Amino acid sequence: MSNNNLNRSTRILKSITQILDKFLDETLQEKNINFNIEFRGNFNFLDKKIEKKIFSINQTKFTNFKKKLLIYLNYSGKKDILRIASYEKITNENKFRNLLSTHDVVDPDILIRTGGYKRLSDFMLFEISYTELFFLNKLWPDLNKSDLVKIIDNYRQINRKFGK
């Protein structure tokens, strides 16, 4: 959820919050998750009950796997970059990267954009230079295992050159 999404109508924000709350409840009850889940961003727009659920999930280690699902709420890649740009002159990419709020996240291999939109919407702008983008015409809550399997199968067919 982009920082800009907070400009949507109260009705839409309420619906998004309800979906998030349901997801949090289901995740907290689930015992067989094969990856860890971490929420990042600024949660100040949420009520305290939902913030507590997010904190609980962030503290839970569902597995010993290295796989992690990161969910960003109220996040802006542009604001992250602009925040760093206000620092002293930084000429080294590693120094710049270490100042990003995503400094401890490996650049993603895959980015899935749901909702039928073909844009990045201010998401991890610095980190996705070699990320494979997949666009789906369905909404995030409707994403299912079959969709993910298709995306992973398509990803495996790509000859990734990383600018070479």
User: Considering only CA atoms, which of 2, 162, 151 is closest in space to residue 77?
Assistant: 2
pLDDT category at 16 given cuts 50, 70, 90 is confident
For 86-100, what is each residue's pLDDT tens digit? 877 888 888 899 999
Which bin fits 136, alpha (ψ -120 to 50), beta or left (φ > 0)?
Answer: beta
Fold of 76-164: Undecaprenyl pyrophosphate synthetase (3.40.1180)
Residues 6+ apart with CB under 8 A from 65: 34, 35, 36
For 140-159, what is each residue's pLDDT tens digit? 888 888 999 999 999 999 98
The lowest-confidence range among 3-7, 103-107, 136-140 is 3-7
For 21-66, what is each residue's pLDDT tens digit? 998 999 888 877 888 888 998 899 999 999 999 999 998 876 667 7
Whether the predicted pLDDT of 134 surpasses 80: yes
> Is this prediction's pTM over 0.75?
no
Domain ranges of the chain: 1-75, 76-164
pLDDT at 50: 96
pLDDT at 92: 87
Supply 146's token pair: 């079959």
Higher pLDDT, 31 or 85: 85
User: C-alpha 116: how far from its chain's center?
Assistant: 17
pLDDT at 63: 67
